[in-house]
Amino acid sequence: MSPDSIKALVRSIPDFPRPGILFRDVTTLIGHGAGFAASIEWLARGASERGAEAIVGIEARGFIFGAPVAASLGLPFVPVRKPGKLPGPKVSTEYALEYGTDRLELDPGAIPDGQRVVVIDDLLATGGTAGAAVRLVREAGGLVEHALFVIDLPDLGGAAHLVGYGIVSEALVSFDGH
């Protein structure tokens, strides 16, 4: 499937989660077998070409895309979780939201020192969540230079934010606006 065909599978919902936001909903994409498979193939090819030795997926929709990429490449999948979801030792970082902050956590034992990691998520908006995941991977000893997304909202500046971390980000499709 072409990127334009995949883009057409993403539902746009106005005024969600609040007035003035045009929400890009990937559930219609993952509900389309061929579109979902093509998205996974694109992400897997990108991760492979970037020398991934592990895939990190960000809760929750990054799990939907990252886990099948890892499985298709025969690589470990490492979840970055919301607080209180991981047992045992963990590293944690706070990141900014539009109104307030949130935290993400990672099991530092899941990434051996020097392992090349590619971060995968469904959507790149401001880059705050992906930037937090990058910080966690690096704190755990992993090497991360690339992040792959299904959707980019370039007007929100996420790619530029990630450049500040030395991360090259790529997305399968992009939507103007927010």
Catalytic residues: 61, 98
Contacts of 18 (CB under 8 A, 6+ apart): none
Q: Residue 78's closest CA among 151, 164, 141? A: 141
Contacts of 95 (CB under 8 A, 6+ apart): 101, 102, 103, 104, 128, 129, 131, 132
**Cα(62)–Cα(36) distance, integer angstroms:** 13
Residue 90 in tokens = 């963990």
Order the strands of the 54-58 sheet from edge to edge.
77-80, 54-58, 116-124, 143-152, 168-174
Residue 4 in tokens = 């334009």
**Cα(61)–Cα(137) distance, integer angstroms:** 18
Residue 15 in tokens = 């005024």
